[in-house]
Structure 1
Amino acid sequence: MKSKKQLLIWVVFVLTTYSIAANAVRFHAGGESADGPILPGSSDIVLQSFLAQQTGEMETLDPLQGTPGYRRAAWWLTVLSKQLEAKGVQAINLVIVDVQLWSRMKSNTHMGIELDMQIPDNRSNTLMLSEAALSALVNETLSFDQALQLRVVQIHQDNIGIREQLLNG
């Protein structure tokens, strides 16, 4: 009986992972590199986001394709950069892991963020999140603390205290 249960869990996992992967590149030409995920933990964020949406811990996000999806994500990243700036977070990379859209917060740009940039060589101090987590943070249906606990937001090589700024800022 135990092996049937394990097989069922494995089948559900494979089917949901396939569904996630099929929808991952909705509006951006990204894709995981031949070396695997873009950053350690990025695949976990996608899976945890899917689970959080399925269990109701995070609102379900309706997918948008092409230009409308890109515009929505770009707007949310701009709003998120203002929220982060208000918490004292500056000069970090951001990546929406399920669509591999990279951005960088910069104080010398008009909007405070450089959108859709090339993958940086130095990926330390990168805030990684799913598009659904981005939506929840911007719409304030999820706090940074909740997002970190749900593991739908993670920080890669936090050398400047990003986590503390998010939780205490």
Structure 2
Amino acid sequence: MENLLAGIPKERPVLIAGPTASGKSGLALRLVEQAGGVVVNADALQVYDCWRVLSARPSAAEEARAPHRLYGHVGREEPYSVGHWLREMRAVLAEGLRPVIVGGTGLYFTALTEGLAEVPEVPAEVRAEADALLCGEGLAAMVAGLDAATAGRIDLANPARVQRAWEVLRATGRGLAAW
């Protein structure tokens, strides 16, 4: 196989993005086997320990062929966000191996390449209030409680995004767009 990384400095990360089952993980593994480095997960589902089959996560045999990071290390009940991933990614970068970062979660790539605002943690009581509002009054009520700037920038049909935006506004007094 042709050396696809020839001429690229060893410290330079490689990013591979695309749809599920398009061969991203296989390509990442071949690149690491050929040129060294570490395969790093950038898929929001593959961080969870219970999603190997449903998320097209590399098999245990594939993971044994080369170093892999940020796969299956989060319990299914544990909270996890792009902020968690980015902090863990910084530790991977500090290892000094060329990261071949592979996944389908565009927000992870955006956070890595463009940065991410450090929004404070949302207190448990605000999360509980948001859960109750969503269950009791529905998504429309939660959308109605957002500031205009945030509402104009997020997918208002995505309950998880709307709830996160509502929680941040409730907890900090600042809309998510302001962060």
TM beyond 0.5: no
Q: Structure 2 length as normaliser, TM-score?
A: 0.28
Q: Structure 1 length as normaliser, TM-score?
A: 0.29
Give 1 or 2 for the bigger CA radius of gyration. 2
